[in-house]
């Protein structure tokens, strides 16, 4: 169970995930959250970069030291965190995002949030897990390579003509981790998505629709059918069900990023 959340904030760090790892090595307890105004080396998955321009976005990470969690349940924590971000954006701003499995939240077809879960093992067991969340809040523009597929809270509020309204980084950070605590404590009882699957699928981008699965060696079309109890994506290819595990596979809509 996750009980207490302790928030720390720094103006600039390399990566909030790496700062949490350092503290975990020093014996820090579960529930520490480190957030930063900007990251000089923000990380995406598999060596990709995450942009967090100064004071425009949220970069926040939490330390978890789940007792006796199985190794195979760890990737599911990303899926749980995605539900928390979606829920917080809905509660605070009425922005109804979709979850692009496994680790993005999208609004109007563009990415507003990315999640990176990392872990370390000791003596053959999971020692600690770091859940890192990046959310674009005040960003009005993005680097050229991502401009077509990125959005922010403020850009979405402008689209809805909500003049004078803006996101609030501290408030949103707090709301995300409060939601995370609620979903995580449901997840950790069974170490799977059985208590969350229904809500997850309601918010899954491309649910029941055609998607493109982009693996390293090939790419093919499939229909997204939902998730398994472990949080893996179920797709249908040639009338047969297939399970997509996290890793190096990307799932895209047929006509664009989502
Ligand atoms: C992710 O990876 O989306 C995980 C991002 C996790 C960032 C958080 S911030 C707090 C914590 N500390 C860290 O160092 N990391 C975590 P992936 O699915 O691999 O997507 C990365 C790709 O997203 C990049 O290659 C770009 O194409 C795109 N991208 C980079 N910055 C972006 C941004 N600010 N908004 C939207 N897309 C972005």
91-101 per-position pLDDT tens digit: 999 999 999 99
| Residue 253: band (very low, low, confident or very high) from pLDDT cuts 50, 70, 90 | confident
Residue nearest to atom 25 of ligand 1 (CA): 48
Q: Ligand 1 centre from 135 Cα, in Å?
A: 9
- Residue 199 confidence (pLDDT) above 90: yes
Residue among 158, 165, 105 at smallest CA distance from 136 = 105
Does any ligand 1 atom lie closer than 6 A to the CB of residue 191?
no
pLDDT reported for residue 68: 81
Does any ligand 1 atom lie closer than 6 A to the CB of residue 86?
no
Give the tokens for residue 120.
Answer: 């370390």
Span of 4-13, 23-32, 60-69, 131-140 with lowest mean pLDDT: 60-69
pLDDT reported for residue 205: 95
Domain(s) of CATH 2.30.30.100: residues in the chain:
210-253
pLDDT reported for residue 216: 80
pLDDT reported for residue 251: 85
How high does pLDDT run on average in the chain?
95
Q: Ligand 1 centre from 116 Cα, in Å?
A: 8
Q: Please provide the CATH number assigned to the domain covering 210-253.
A: 2.30.30.100
Residue nearest to atom 33 of ligand 1 (CA): 51
E strand map for the chain:
6-13, 32-39, 57-64, 98-100, 104-107, 110-122, 125-136, 210-214, 219-227, 233-237, 240-244, 250-253
pLDDT reported for residue 22: 98
pLDDT reported for residue 247: 62
Does any ligand 1 atom lie closer than 6 A to the CB of residue 249?
no
pLDDT reported for residue 249: 74
Using CA atoms, how far apart are residues 153 and 10, in angstroms rounded to an integer? Answer: 22
Q: 6-202 adopts what CATH topology? A: BirA Bifunctional Protein; domain 2 (3.30.930)
Domain(s) of CATH 3.30.930.10: residues in the chain:
6-202
Residue among 81, 123, 118 at smallest CA distance from 102 = 81
pLDDT reported for residue 248: 62
Query: Which residue from 32, 64, 134, 248 has its CB within 8 A of the most atoms of ligand 1, so it is best to mutate?
Result: 134
Q: Ligand 1 centre from 126 Cα, in Å?
A: 24
Query: Which residue from 41, 47, 50, 64 has its CB within 8 A of the most atoms of ligand 1, so it is best to mutate?
Result: 50
- Residue 75 confidence (pLDDT) above 80: yes
The tens digit of pLDDT for each residue in 209-249 reads 999 998 888 899 999 999 999 999 999 999 999 999 876 67
């Amino acid at each position: 169970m996750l009980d207490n959340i302790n928030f720390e904030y720094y103006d600039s760090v390399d990566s909030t995930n790496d700062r949490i790892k350092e503290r975990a090595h020093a014996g820090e307890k579960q529930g520490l959250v480190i957030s930063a105004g900007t990251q000089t080396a923000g990380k995406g998955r598999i060596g990709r970069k995450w942009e967090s321009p100064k004071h425009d976005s949220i970069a926040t990470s939490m330390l978890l030291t789940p007792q006796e969690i199985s190794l195979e349940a760890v990737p599911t924590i990303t899926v749980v965190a995605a539900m928390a971000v979606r829920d917080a954006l809905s509660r605070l701003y009425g922005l109804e995002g979709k979850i692009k499995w496994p680790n993005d939240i999208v609004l109007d077809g563009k990415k507003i949030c990315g999640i990176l879960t990392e872990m370390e093992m000791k003596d053959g067991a999971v020692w600690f897990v770091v859940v890192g969340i990046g959310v674009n809040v005040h960003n009005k523009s993005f680097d050229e390579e991502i401009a077509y597929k990125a959005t922010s809270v403020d850009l979405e509020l402008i689209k809805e003509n909500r003049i004078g309204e803006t996101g609030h980084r501290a408030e949103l950070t707090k709301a995300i981790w409060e939601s995370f605590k609620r979903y995580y404590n449901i997840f950790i009882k069974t170490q799977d998505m059985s208590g969350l699957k229904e809500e997850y699928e309601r918010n899954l981008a491309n649910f029941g629709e055609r998607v493109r699965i982009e693996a390293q060696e090939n790419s093919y079309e499939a229909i997204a059918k939902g998730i398994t109890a472990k949080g893996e994506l179920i797709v249908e290819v040639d009338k047969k069900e297939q399970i997509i595990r996290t890793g190096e596979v990307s799932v895209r809509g047929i006509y664009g990023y989502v």
